[in-house]
Amino acid sequence: MNKRVITIVLDSVGIGALPDAAEYGDAGSHTLGNICSARGTLNLPNMSALGLAHIAGSNLAKPGSEPTGAFGRAAEQTAAKDTTSGHWELMGLPMDVPFRTFQKGFPAEFIRAFEKRIGRRTLYNLPASGTAVIAELGDEHVRTGSPIVYTSADSVFQIAAHEDVIPLEELYGMCRTAREMLVGDMLVGRVIARPFTGSTGSYTRTQNRKDFAVPPPGETVLDALKAEGIITAGIGKIEDIFYNRGICLSDHTHTNEEGVDATLRFMREENFGFLFVNLVDFDMIYGHRNDIEGYARALEKFDGHVPELLSAMKNEDILMITADHGCDPTTASTDHSREYIPVIVAGSGVKPGVDLGTRGSFSDIGATVYEYLTGKAWSCGKSFLPEIKD
């Protein structure tokens, strides 16, 4: 098969508040537009040329030329704003019942049971910024050996520990225990190991983060493509999000630059039909830390790679650039924001200048991928393949 699809998720690069955003505390959120407004400029010439600036409500200055790609935005069908449900819906599996969140921390009886299982007391158990909580409690953790448990507005149970106090394998074991316990009525999207190093006043999180997800509750486009004999590949944390399901090849990169490098390498050297990429820095390093300037620079740096990605494409390739939720660094919150996601589609066989409008579900992306690679309709979402292909 010569057909390939490369879908790149710019993690958290939302493009405007969804109509129900106020119910999530996210009224006025607009990750891309608010960064541009706060900074005064956002230089994204390559994505804008493809159609990013033409997306409804983008708040970006339109270039003088017509878009060379197709463009639009998509709303999340799942009543959530977390990474896992966002990616599952991108792959054609919206959730009927979203993961639970714990805005006041996890129940005391659960924490007691968890502490008994791991043989250690825990600290904190409240929503927090990860960098802030290790700055506040790092010394106490080092002194007591008690891991720091915290959550956020998203469906996560996070455990922070100094690598010299709790070795990585022990921390990962704690996370596996929490994952076993957080099921049923306590189901959360991810348990995350958040190791750090350093000393008083200079604690720093390391790249040894590890996510412990749950398997998707139904078939995803990845599963179906693999069953069809199509080689699927994941870059970044894709394998974690999908519980290693439906993925034939993977490269667990940790940064945007590593992710782009791996994407280019796969496009030039690997045999695949579908390549699914997550670029995490926008969310992990800049969005959650309300770093407007860092976020802007990361966007501009990725935009600079777009010509390389386009040059690496083969004749029947389709490139999609999208997101999974928002994380507006201009707001007081350090959590994800409930936003539309951008949809940019490029390729030699893609009709230029097609406005895909506002899609009713992230699943439209998965449905399009599936139809293009198999010629079949997906059970959820509406493929936009007929709109972009001659």
The last residue of one of the domains, among 177, 212, 247, is 212
Q: What is the pLDDT of residues 191-218, one digit of tens each?
A: 999 999 999 999 999 989 998 989 999 9
Same domain, 247 and 339: yes
Whether 24 is covered by a domain: the verdict is yes
Distance of CA 130 to the CA centre of its chain: 17
Same domain, 152 and 290: no
Contacts of 41 by beta carbon, 8 Å cutoff, 6+ apart: none
Check which CATH number belongs to the domain holding 340 and give it: 3.40.720.10
Same domain, 234 and 327: yes
The pTM of the full predicted model, rounded to 2 decimals, is: 0.90
Q: Would you state the pLDDT for residue 207?
A: 87
- Both tokens of residue 131? 């960098």
Contacts of 43 by beta carbon, 8 Å cutoff, 6+ apart: 300, 303
Among 359, 358, 284, CA closest to 89: 359
Same domain, 131 and 22: no
Categorise residue 193: left if φ over 0, alpha if ψ from -120 to 50, beta otherwise.
beta
Q: Would you state the pLDDT for residue 1?
A: 55
Please return the burial class of 198, using the count of CB atoms within 10 Å of its CB with bins 0-12, 13-18 and 19+: middle
Please list the rounded mean pLDDT of every run of 10 residues in the chain (390 residues): 92 98 96 97 97 96 93 97 95 95 95 98 94 96 98 92 98 98 94 97 93 93 98 96 95 96 97 97 95 98 98 97 98 95 97 98 98 97 94
Q: What is the DSSP string of 100-149?
A: P--TT-S-HHHHHHHHHHHTS--EEEEE--HHHHHHHHHHHHHHH-PPEE
Q: Are 44 and 306 contacting, i.e. CB atoms less than 8 angstroms apart? A: no
Same domain, 171 and 66: no
User: To which H or E segment does residue 343 belong?
Assistant: strand 341-346
Q: Which residues pair with 342 in a beta bridge?
A: 73
Q: Would you state the pLDDT for residue 64?
A: 86
Same domain, 86 and 228: yes
Tokens 């909580």 locate to 133
Same domain, 85 and 136: no
Q: Would you state the pLDDT for residue 283?
A: 96
CB count within 10 Å of CB 98 equals: 17
Whether 346 is covered by a domain: the verdict is yes
Task: Tell me the C-alpha distance between 202 and 291, whole Å.
Answer: 18
Task: Tell me the C-alpha distance between 248 and 373, whole Å.
Answer: 16
Whether 100 is covered by a domain: the verdict is no
Q: Would you state the pLDDT for residue 112?
A: 98
Task: Tell me the C-alpha distance between 169 and 167, whole Å.
Answer: 6
Same domain, 27 and 90: yes
Same domain, 129 and 67: no
Angle made by CA atoms 317, 318, 321, in degrees to the nearest 5: 140
Same domain, 198 and 242: no
Q: What is the pLDDT of residues 301-359, one digit of tens each?
A: 999 999 999 999 999 999 999 999 999 999 999 999 999 999 999 999 999 999 999 99
Task: Give, in order, the Cα–Cα distances in Å from 108 to each of 116, 148, 191, 269.
Answer: 12, 15, 18, 52
Same domain, 347 and 245: yes
Locate the DSSP E strands across 166-273.
190-197, 204-205, 210-212, 232-235, 249-251
Task: Tell me the C-alpha distance between 54 and 31, whole Å.
Answer: 16
Domain carrying residue 272 = 4-95+217-388
